[in-house]
Amino acid sequence: MLDRGDILVLYPEARYANVGTNSELPFSVVKLLKFLKVPVVILNMHGNYLQSPIWNLTHRKEARLSAELSLAFTAEEIQKASPEEIYEKISSMLTYDEYAWQRDQKMKITYDKRAEGLHKPLYRCRCCNNEESMASEKNRLFCKACGSEWTMDEYGTLHQVKNRGKEVTEKNEILIPDWYEWERETVNDEILRNAYELNIKVQIDALPNSKNFIDCGYGTLIHKPEGFTLRFKNYESGQEEEMFFASLSMNSIHTEYDYRGKGESVTLSTPDNTYFFFPAEGEKFHATKIQFAVEQFFKDREKEKNKK
């Protein structure tokens, strides 16, 4: 594209903003920028997540769009800058918090079901730590196990109204991104204690092209510090096979909250195919939790590699 004089547009995070905040960039982006030797321009958009968050795609008409276009490096500057300087600058320029921006803009979103689906990224109760009991309805987020409840105001802030079933009299606000990062900490703690485990029966759809999905039936997905192991009957060979996806090969993972109406999903890819995994009947996983584990395992394996 660049050779023929076109502009190359790159989405360096390569994933959704689950709660309207940025993800860490892969360092390989810096290598690409060094290699291309062209000016680097950053386009940071606001409001698109607020209009249609991935956990509830209903369009919010009151959410306006805005964008900032900035020159990060000229072609000459990109060659002179160190990789660390480049990474720090582009990461800083692509940092965002949609809810903070919404509050700064004093932008009300009055959609009455604005919290429905929020329990998908915020899957763990702040009060009782239960992972299987969060639910949402209209502007309410609540725990079915302990009775704790929060309401989401028109600016995207959560207000606790019940603590373990009892009415809350004191003001207690929590920001959605803070809850999300707290969940990340709980997963990282599980990993440190060797308590994280995923070994689940999944329904598998393969997407070898942009035209159609292929139903691969059921298989087993196992996630450990070393990576993912997939055991299934491969439709291409007709044989039971085992695939391994190393943690060091993925700094994150693609997540979906209700893909094609089939519920939460994560995907793994080979050079020629992408596999979508959904919990089999009677099973359950939290795509967000798997994502947190993938990101931490990548960091851990990278540290081990750099020590050698």
Q: Are 146 and 164 in contact (CB under 8 A)?
A: yes
- Judge whether 258 lies within some domain: yes
Q: Give the residue from 192, 222, 240 where a domain finishes.
A: 192
State residue 180 phi and psi, 5-degree precision: -60, -45
The predicted structure's pLDDT at residue 132: 95
Residues 63-122 pLDDT 10s: 999 999 999 999 999 999 999 999 999 999 999 999 999 999 999 999 999 999 999 999
Above 90 in pLDDT, residue 169? Answer: no
Same domain, 55 and 146: no
Same domain, 34 and 78: yes
Query: Which CATH number is 291's domain given?
Result: 2.30.29.30
Q: Is the pTM value of this prediction over 0.85? A: yes
Residues 212-233 pLDDT 10s: 899 999 999 999 999 999 999 9
- Judge whether 248 lies within some domain: yes
Q: Which amino acid is at 172?
A: N
Residues 174-191 pLDDT 10s: 999 999 999 999 999 999
The whole-chain average pLDDT of the chain stands at: 95
Same domain, 71 and 57: yes
Task: State the DSSP H helix or E strand holding residue 182, giving kind and residue range, or none if neither.
Answer: helix 176-192
Residue 210 Ramachandran class (φ > 0 left, ψ -120 to 50 alpha, else beta): alpha
Same domain, 218 and 183: no
Q: Provide the token pair at 72.
A: 């990060």
DSSP string, 282-300: T----HHHHHHHHHHHHHH
Same domain, 39 and 100: yes
Range of the domain at 159: 134-192
Same domain, 181 and 205: no
Q: Are 278 and 260 in contact (CB under 8 A)?
A: no
Distance set, CA 184 to CA 175, 176, 181, 290 (Å) = 15, 13, 5, 10
**CA 40/CA 29 separation, integer angstroms:** 11
- Judge whether 129 lies within some domain: no
- The alpha carbon of residue 111 and the mean position of all alpha carbons in its chain are separated, in whole angstroms, by 24
36-71: b (≥16 Cβ within 10 Å) or e: eeeebebeeebbebbbebbbbeeebeebeeeeeeee
- Judge whether 21 lies within some domain: no
Q: Provide the token pair at 89.
A: 């600058």
Same domain, 208 and 167: no
Q: Provide the token pair at 19.
A: 């709660």
Domain count, the chain: 3
Same domain, 70 and 100: yes
Same domain, 172 and 272: no
Q: Give the residue from 105, 126, 157 where a domain finishes.
A: 105
Same domain, 265 and 213: yes
143-158: b (≥16 Cβ within 10 Å) or e: bebbbbbbbbeeebbb
* 3-state SS class at 261: helix
Task: DSSP letter for 15, please.
Answer: S
